Structures are given as structure tokens and as C-alpha cells.
Structure 1
Amino acid sequence: MKKSKAPSSRRAEIQQLHQCYASGKTTLPACALLRFLHKEQMELTANEETAESLIDRYEIEETARESRCMTFEGFLRYMESKDCCVFDQAHTSVYQDMDQPLTSYFISSSHNTYLMGDQLVGKSHLDAYVCALRKGCRCLEIDCWDGPDMEPVVYHGYTLTTKILFKDVITTVEQHAFEVSAYPVILSLENHCSQEQQEVMAQYLISILGDKLLKTPLDHPTTGDLPSPNKKKVVVAEALSDLVVYTTSVKFISFSHSKDNQNYYENTSMAEKKARKLVKASGPDFVQHNQKFLTRIYPAGSRTSSSNYNPQEFWNVGSQLVALNFQSLGLPMDLNDGRFRDNGGCGYVLKPAVLMSSQRSFDPGCSQHNVKPTHLLLKVISGSNLPVPRSGKALDPFVRVEIHGIASDSRRKNTHTVKNNSLSPHWDSHMNFNISVPELCLIRFCVRDQTGLLSSDFVGQYMLPFSSLKKGYRWVPLRSRDGCSLDPASLFVFVWYS
């Protein structure tokens, strides 16, 4: 059965590519497909066998398949497949070294995990824990208070947020902790309970989590270091002294004080404002501190609506536990989703070498990094099947490409606006970026609807780490505000960097 000839924005561009490599013939022989893979897609390890396996996978016309050729329909099917996604498919599995100490990773972290809404009258709900864990979150916050009948409760203290039972939270964690990731979950307990109810909490942790709970230090060769994520257990932070093995919370005084007095198993928690001051005043010291110790950053108490800060500024100094309100949608959560899409979505991403070097000090506030910048060329060619607003009116779409990294690398550029076309807008827009620290960068493709001279509405977006960006002709799968797939909505782009 042939694919219907529905108008697709990518069709014309893809037809051109197919014709160019088929040299006037109607089908593309395996050797020409291989040339395309090498020259355009930069799939340098591809060989004759690779090309033939793609023909077997995507060509449905039997005669073409038998003669090891690809018709335009097969080529289109290949170009619209995962094999041509802008996100490197090798990074959809865990591929990084998981035997480094915990301090060497960015760890997906949630703040006030129990809340579904704001921090004053919002609902506390077990579903909030399930949602965070399903998004690959590996550090959960649990605020514990004395409850009636010796049952500790979880809620945002001194507010009107609703209360849930501590034992139900731990049961939920036990059920869902390792559903999408096999790597450790850190429970950050903010403990306001009396001695008696703390003992109840300890009993629940032991009886409900059983052997999933880390109760004694692990035997591991890197003595004087935190364990690696490969020690797959639930780790409790900040409370119930006998159960806290690796992540006791201590007050941060100064970087020099930490250097002389802090133990490797102690971590510091600080609000965004204090952390931001330290980033500005002594970035290189912060980077070095985070090579040895875990740092947790959390949103300011003044964010009563559960809004988020930009996590990128704290990843830039190597902070591991950059905690966000997972229930609040928008750019900060898009950045978090993009950062942790890498490494199989397991919630642990190895920090780049630039943040881990003991020889060279790294200052994210400095724009000169004594290295030749990476030149990135992005050609935003076209869009396809963009979601139409409820009004049913066709969009006036444009694409904004954003680079999020150290301050001097962070940029954004827009294509022009195409009038009245949601189905197959065509931009053919070239954008050039110079990036000095690409290994810290995230790239965001955001489609917006021009609603006025200076106003536009969000349509869809996709965020990925620069290190997961594939070269060549690629499609970008768009996602909604809450991170859900908007399939078949997508962009067609060309990517090159050197």
C-alpha cells in the first residue's frame, strides 16, 4: 500500500534530496543512499550494510527492495523515522559511565514534590510523587510534620495546603521509585516532627521500603567519596539520624570553611538567591566545591505561586540537585526535561569534563574560555501539522531557536512569520551561533503564533542537549506545554557544527 499523497511540508525538500542523490532515476540505489548518509547526515560509520538494512526497514515496494533500491516513498518513510530524529537515538539508553561518585552527576530534583498547585492553598497529593518519578526525578522532597494519632503528615507547613500521610507517601515511592529508572532515589526529608513521630517515620521507612532502603554504608572502592549511581537504593537525606548514611545536611558557611571542615557525606541546601550571589561572586570556587560535595538549590520562599528559577545558571557551576517545582510548566521545566532526556532519561547525567577538572579552574561568568568556539549552523526549513488553537483559526507561525548555556553563549534568534499556515509552513531560515562551552548548552526549538505586532502565543517546543544533537537533515518532534508529544507536529531542520 502506498502512502497517501497528503500535502506535507517536508515532501518538497525531501523530494529534492531524493532526486539529487538518485541522479535523475526514480529510485535510489544502496550506494547512493550510503553517499547521502556520509555526506549529508554525517553518519560516518555507515557502510553498505547500513544502507541495505535501511532499505529493508523502510522500503515497502518489493521490486525496489529486491534490487536494493529505495523509492521516494521509502526514502520519505526513512526521513520521518526515529533514525532521522534531531535527538541522537544512542542517547535514549543509558550510555554514560555510572560508576563515578554521585557528586559527578546532575541529578533530576524536585522541590515541594507533594504539591499539585501553589504553596499557600494548593493540594498535596500522592499523584504528584508518581508524576515526578515518571518524569525520571531522582530526588524527592518530603516535608514532615506531627499528625493526629501518631501518624506523621506531609504538607507545606504553616499554610492551608492539604495534608497527606507520610506512610502513604513512602508506599507510593516504593511502588514507583524504579519504574522508569533503575538508579538511586534520594529522599530529602524536611523534618519538623517530635522525637516520637520521628521514630514512627523511621519504622515506616524500614518496613515499607525493605531492602530497597540504604541502611548502612556500601562497600565501594572510592573510599572518601560518595557511592556511584550504580548502587541502586533509596537514600534518605536530612533526617532520622540512624538512617542517614550519605546525605546529612549541613549549613553552608563559606567555600573555604567547607574545604576545611565538610565531610564528603554532608551536603548543603541553599535558596536560589544565596546561590545566585555565590555564582556571581565566586563561580570558580563554586565549581570546585561541587566537585567534592553535593549541593541542593531550591526556589525562593517568595515564589508562593510555585514558579521556578532558571536551573541553567546553577548547572553552570556543577550543582547536582537543582530542585524545581515539577507541577509548574514553562521554560525552567523544559530545560529540566531537555537536560534529563539524555542518558536514557534515567535522571542522572554525567557532568562535562570542564566542570570536573582539578587542573583548570572554570569560570562560567567569563566569556573567554581559551578555546576555539564551536560554530553552529541551523537551517529551519519547514514545519508540519502544527496544532491549531481551539478557535480553529490557522496559525501565523514563526520559530524561535534558543541556546541556553553560560551567559555569553545564551542567545535566541527568530525566523520570519509565515501567514495563515499550520499545515506546512516554510521558512528556509539560516541561523549562525558561536558557542564557547557547547557541553553545557541546551538547544530549544520553540514554535510560536504571531498574534500581534509584539505578541505571540506558545504552540510547541522541543529541548535537547547540544551533545545529543545530530548533524544533517533532521526532524524535531514538538511537545506541548506539559511535555507531552504533539505527534505528528514537527519541524524539518538542517544541522551543522564544527
Structure 2
Amino acid sequence: MALTGHEKNEMRWFFSKIQDEFRGGKINVERTYKLLEKLDIQCNYVHVKHIFKDNDRQKQGKITIEEFRSIYRIIAHREEIVEIFNVYSENRRILFESNLIQFLTQEQYEIETTESIASEIIQKYEPIDEVKKAHQISLEGFTRYIYSSECLLFKQECTKVYQDMTYPLNDYFISSSHNTYLVSDQLVGPSDLWGYVSALVKGCRCLEIDCWDGSQAEPVVYHGYTLTSKLLFKTVIQAIHKYAFMTSEYPVVLSLENHCSTAQQEVMAGILQTTFGDSLLSDILDDFPDSLPSPEALKFKVLVKNKKIGTLQETRERIGSDKHGKVGLWEEAETEDEEESTTTETYENLLSRDSQGKETETKKALPVTLFSKKKKIRKLKIALALSDLVIYTKAEKFRSFQYSRQYQQFNENNSIGETQARKLSKLRVNEFIFHTRKFITRIYPKATRADSSNFNPQEFWNIGCQMVALNFQTPGLPMDLQNGKFLDNGGSGYILKPQFLRDIKSKFNPNDSIKDNDPIAITIRLISGIQLPLSGSSSHKPDTLVIIEVFGVPNDHMKRQTRVIKKNAFSPRWNETFTFIIQVPELALLRFVVENSGLIAGNEFLGQYTLPVLCMSKGNFLKSYRRVPLFSRSGESLEPASLFVYVWYVR
């Protein structure tokens, strides 16, 4: 059959791009991979190697130009994309501008699609000049559009700061890390500046710094009474200063676990002031004398969270009358360490007392200093030089919800261990939610998590806890949820809490059946996988399956799984449909997990993607073809690996 004019254009374009590469004869797999990149075809090198091997007819490790074209078509022309293209193409070769508008309005639900929008897509994604000039789009161009960021499941509006940032700090979820200096376990692993750098790059806005007396009057940072290595406090502060506002311009909170003498606290205060300068919040903002300021009012500011002597007004009055500075002055304050008190025993004994128990790779017989369940009250001498740097984030021991209602001040924050917080969330959930509406509350992992494991943060977001602190160095489900939640609002590290977690008149209880809420129905047709990550096991062709799971209030938690596609990670086709009814979409996260099935030790993780449910919505209705990018266990992009889905969303 003779080629049509458009097919001739496509052939001319294709060969004009690649023929110079074949002037010397055949090309090997490395040059094949680079040539595909030159043609703007995203591809995984390992997948290319397998496809190259299958198309190398002479088995000499080199291919002809015709063999390369076969490889190109295998990678670029996916059957499921061709099927969609053919539905709207009048001749199965080209989409006219009117065809593209029809596709956008009927499938992508772009109600306001105009000729100008369709024309913009053509100009942006169509690679063949002749087709572009005719205001048409070829299969190549259509595929590039489907693979683009415009067709990702995560909606573009959420990639920027779009929420109202003028509410008080306690009205926001704040991305928070635990023992940020650690990059491994809690007992013998290294402390590293990378812990702070990587957390800040991820948008973390609350960093923890454990401060202890060091030699030569230099405070140090490490996990006290353990064998973790030490960092100089000043180098930690310098690293934070460098990266604090690289990802987000909203305030950073330094949560100090302060074990230093007054002399070294004064050194700390000097380092903070010298390093951060005007960025360090060291006085009340004029517009917020008796209430918490907003993230907007605190842009590019660093806040110190620590014990404080007296009230804000007393501090201001004293500073105004103190002409000789604060060197050598201090007062005593009753304090309770945020972490549990310490004791030396075997890890095995500690685990035997832990009612929940856990697995770890730490040697159980190793005698080390660990944290016991008994809390320790002590008198801490606080240097006024450091105390006076604490403004809106004063660390205050949590006694009870009743005590907080009667006595806690607006600028006082509580830190509560996960075990106590979990009990309170079950026994006194209404009081807990009332508390988090007024006061910033930080939740941190229990001491027995010596391997730096994490709890599920969702249970504490459900009750409005602002700072749910996780071990950022530990991959897994909790950090997937953390990373997914804080993709929202431009990755700023601040997410406005739902109205029902801010309004003191709200009767919201995540553990009860939800009334007076606006549920949504989400139907997902999981069509296919695109160059999925290859197995790390001996098998190069995994048996792939996908799990889709909803996290939110307990009644919204659902899990669905596809069938297994044997020996196919390059282009598995499922075409399976799942429906989720979500009662509280404002708190819900959707997680896609790709696994390799059938291993003796259980399924093997290949990739995942997590996002807030409302970040895939579009008004009250959405239906569209979308691409779901995948990330590794450590949170790194696995592009071009992704899932291809069709989504219906009704509210």
C-alpha cells in the first residue's frame, strides 16, 4: 500500500533526525539510547537493552536504521495510546484541530477548551513541521502530549502556593522531622548535616536539634547517651541558614531539645543571632502581640522553639530596660525532656517491656543507653539570652487538656510522644481536636523505635496535630504519606487544615460515622503500566501488580489490587476498574503501589505514588486520562516509569 502524504512526512521527519547517526553503519545499544533521548523519547536504559537485544537480528550487538525504527515504534507507539488516538482521528493518521478539541472536551473534561488552547498543544508537542503548520497533530505529537506534565494526575494548580496563608500558624499542618541530624538508626548511626539539607530540600519546616555541651565551649548536636556521632551546633545552624528557604519561603521552626549548660546556651544564642541576622525572629510582631501570626507574616523567618522564662510582655519590658545585655543571667524552669529519660540496659530487655513490640536489625544483646518509659522532671537553667529568642514557639510540658484550656498561653506549644498521643486520640478525641484548634501540637516517635522506624502520621493529622514529626531518613509507607501530603500547596511545607479542624463549633470526630459532610466517588480504570521499574531480584521481567489504597479517617481506609501480569514490566495492560467512596476527602490520600508478585519472601516493592485526593480534582467533576508518575522507596523519581489511568471523580 502506498504511503499517504502524512506518512511520508512522518518518515521524512524520522529519517532526517537519525540518518546522520548511521552514516558509519550500525549503532550499539549506548548510541541507541542516546538517539532515543535526542528524539525526546523518555526511556529506561535497562528496558532499552532488552528491546535492543530482541531487535538485533544478527546478534552482533549493533543494529541497522530499520531495526532502530522498530525499537522506536515499540517504545513510542503504545497500543493503548493508539487506540485513543484512533477513536478521534478521522483517518487514523492525523487529528485535526477540531478532533483535538473534541478529545479535550469529552475525555479530558476541558470545558473551556478553545481553538487557541488546542493550537497551543499542537505547537508545543507536534514534532513534524509540516503537520504543525497544517494545525494538526500526529500520533507522535499526541503521545508527547499524553506523556507531558499537563496530563499528570496531580493537578497543576496544586504545584503552586494557592491556599490562604494569612491564618494563624496553628491552623496549618506543618511538615516536621524528628532527630533531623540522624541519617540512620537512633543508637550507633552517624549524625550528618545531610539530614538537615535533605529535609529542607523536601520542604520540611520544623527541624529538631538535640543540643549538648561540647568541648572548648562549643555546643554539639547528637542523640544524647548513645553512640551516634556529633556535629558542631554552629555547623548545623550554618547548613540550615544556607538551605532554609531554598524550597519554601515560609517560616522554619528550630525545635531545640536543649541539654546545655547556661554558658553554652549563651553560645548557642550568639550563633543563632550571628548566623541568621534579621531572619531570626527575636521580637513580637507589632500586628500579633497576643495571637499567633500567619505563615505569610513570617515569610523568610526562623523561629526558635525552646523553653522560655516568663511571658512575651515580660521579655519585651526587660529587654527595653536592659542596657547591659544578658550575659550570665539565667533562671530555672521546671521542664520535662521531650524524649523519655535514659537508662542503660540491653535492647532485648527494652523490647520485652514494649507492649507493641517490633523487629529490628540492631543486635539485641548489645548493652547501650536507651530510653525508658519513666519520664524525668528536672530543673533546667535557661540562659536569658536564649530564652529571649523564643517568641511564638515556647515549648511547654503537656499536662492535660483541662490544664491547657485553663492556663496554656497562645504561644505555648506541646510535644507529645506517639504512645500517649495514640491513647488520648482514642479515649479523648474530642478534647484532643479542641486542643489542636488552639495550640500547636507536635507528635514524635516513641523511644523504642531505635531503628528509626515511623508511625502512620495519618492518625494524628486526622485530629489536627500540626507538627507530626517523622524520621525523614527512613523510607516506607509513613514517609510516602508525608511526601504525598506535602506535595500540596506548592510543596511549601504548610497546608491549611480543613475548616472542621479549625472551627471550635465543629463536632467532627474521625472515629465516628461522618455526618453533614460532602463525600466523593472516585472511579479509577487502571489501563496500563509504562516502563515500570525492573525487579532487583534475579528475574529481569517481573510479574507486576498494582495496589491502590486510600488513607484518611478510619472509615475511608480502602485497599484494592489488580491481577498479576506475568513477565511484563515494559507495557503491562490491566484495564481494571475500582471505585472508592470517600467520606472525608479533605483528609484523604490516594496511594498507588507497583509490586513484583510471587517471591518467596513476599511481594517486592517496585515503585509508588501518593497524593492528596483533592489534588486530583477539578471542581465538582473530573474525568480524564492521566499519568501517575512513580517514585522509588527513597522518594526519587523513576521517570519515565508511570501508570496510565482513566479517572472519574464526582462530588
TM-score range, shorter chain: over 0.9
In the other structure, the counterpart of 2:400 is 254
Q: Is residue 291 from structure 1 mapped to residue 444 from structure 2 by the alignment? A: no
Equivalence for 1:100: 167
Q: Give the whole-Å Cα distance in 2 for the aligned partners of 1:383 and 1:8.
A: 12
Does 1:417 find its partner at 2:564? yes
Moved segments of 4+, more than 3 Å = 1-6
d(CA) in 2 for partners of 1:41 and 1:291?
39
Does structure 2 retain, via aligned residues, the 8 Å contact 1:342–1:465? yes
What CA distance in whole angstroms lies between the structure 2 residues aligned with 1:42 and 1:379? 16
Once the two structures are superposed, what CA deviation does each residue of 1:431-468 show, in whole Å capped at 9, x if it has no partner? 11111001111111100000248820100001111011
> 1:52/1:307 Cα in 2 relative to 1: closer, same or farther (>3 Å)?
same
Aligned to 1:447: 594
Among 483, 492, 496, the residue aligned to 2:644: 492
Deviation at 1:25, TM superposition (A): 4.9
User: Of 554, 560, 573, which residue of structure 2 is paired with 1:407?
Assistant: 554
Paired residue secondary structure (2:388) = helix
Q: 1:195 and 2:251 equivalent?
A: no
Equivalents in 2 of 1:437, 1:371: separation in Å? 7
Which stretch has the larger CA shift, 30-39 or 103-112? Answer: 30-39
TM-score after normalising by structure 2: 0.74
1:118-197 matched pairs, under 5 angstroms: 118-197=185-264
1:296–1:167 Cα change, 3 Å: same
CA distance in 2 between counterparts of 1:224 and 1:244 reads 14
Is the 1:400–1:447 contact (alpha carbons within 8 Å) kept by the matching residues of 2?
yes
- Name 1:28's counterpart in structure 2: 95
Deviation at 1:360, TM superposition (A): 2.3
Higher relative contact order (CA 8 A, sep 6+): 1
Asked if the contact 1:10–1:492 (Cα under 8 Å) also holds between the matched residues in 2, the reply is no
Aligned identity (percent) is 49
Stretches of structure 1 lacking an aligned partner (at least 5 in a row)? none
Correspondence for 1:229:
295
Letter of the 1:416 partner, please give it: R
Q: What is the CA–CA distance in structure 2 between the aligned matches of 1:12 and 1:160, rounded to whole Å? A: 56
- In 2, the alpha carbon distance for the partners of 1:10 and 1:405 equals 38
Q: 1:392: Cα distance to partner?
A: 5.0
The code of the aligned residue for 1:234 comes to V
- Amino acid corresponding to residue 127 of structure 2 in structure 1: I
Q: 2:525 aligns with which of 355, 375, 379?
A: 379
Matched residue type, 1:306? S
Say if 1:359 and 1:45 are closer, same or farther in 2 by CA, change over 3 A: farther
Provide closer, same or farther for how the CA distance between residues 411 and 114 of structure 1 changes in structure 2, counting only shifts above 3 A: same
Contact 1:9 1:382 (8 Å CA) reproduced: no
Q: Equivalent of 1:47, from 109, 114, 117?
A: 114
The letter of the residue matching 2:182 is L
For residue 44 of structure 1, report the CA deviation from its aligned partner. 2.5
Within the alignment, does 1:481 sit opposite 2:602 as a pair?
no
Following superposition, the deviation at residue 320 of structure 1 comes to: 0.7
Q: Distance in 2 between matches of 1:32 and 1:474?
A: 19
Specify the code of the residue in structure 2 equivalent to 1:127.
W
**Structure 1 residues 312 and 103 mapped into 2: Cα distance closer, same or farther (>3 Å)?**
same
Matched, 1:427 2:574: yes
Aligned residue pairs total 497
After superposition, residues 343-358 of structure 1 pair within 5 angstroms as 343-358=489-504
Give the 3 Å change call, closer, same or farther, for CA 10–228 of structure 1 in structure 2: farther
The answer to whether the Cα contact below 8 Å between 1:9 and 1:425 also exists between their aligned partners in 2 is no
Match of residue 278 from structure 1: 424
Q: How far has the Cα of 1:372 moved from its partner?
A: 5.0
Matched-pair contact (CA < 8 Å) for 2:76–2:140: no
Letter in 2 for 1:99: T
Matched, 1:397 2:544: yes
Deviations 1:328-357 (A, max 9, x none): 110101101001111111111111223223
Aligned-partner Cα distance in 1 for 2:498–2:169: 14
User: What is the deviation of 1:288?
Assistant: 2.2
Q: Which residue, 449, 460, 466 being the options, matches 2:613?
A: 466
TM score, norm. by length of structure 1? 0.96
- Could you tell me which amino acid in structure 2 is paired with residue 224 of structure 1? D
- What per-residue deviation string (whole Å, max 9, x for no partner) do you get for residues 226-266 of structure 1? 11112120000014211000011112222232122111100
State which of 408, 411, 414 in structure 2 corresponds to 1:268: 414
What is the CA deviation profile of residues 378-400 of structure 1, one whole-angstrom value per residue up to 9, with x for unaligned ones?
11110011122243521000000
Distance in 1 between the 2:521 and 2:193 partners? 46
Q: Say yes or no: does 1:244 pair with 2:390.
A: yes
Larger Rg: 2
Letter in 1 for 2:506: R
- Most deviating of 350-359 and 435-444: 350-359
Distance 1:372-1:183 versus aligned 2 partners, 3 A rule: closer
Deviation by residue 1:46-72 (Cα, 9 ceiling, x = unmatched): 322111111111112223222222111
Q: Give the Å deviation of 1:73.
A: 1.2
Are residues 262 and 421 of structure 1, via their aligned partners in 2, closer, same or farther at CA, if it must alter by over 3 Å? same
Tell me the secondary structure at the aligned position of residue 6 of structure 1.
helix
Shift of 1:298: 0.2
After TM superposition, give the deviation of residue 481 of structure 1 in Å: 0.5
Q: Given the superposition, is the C-alpha separation of residues 430 and 252 from structure 1 closer, same or farther in structure 2, using an over 3 Å criterion? A: same
8 A Cα contact 1:9 1:384, kept in partner: no
| Cα RMSD after superposing both structures | 1.6
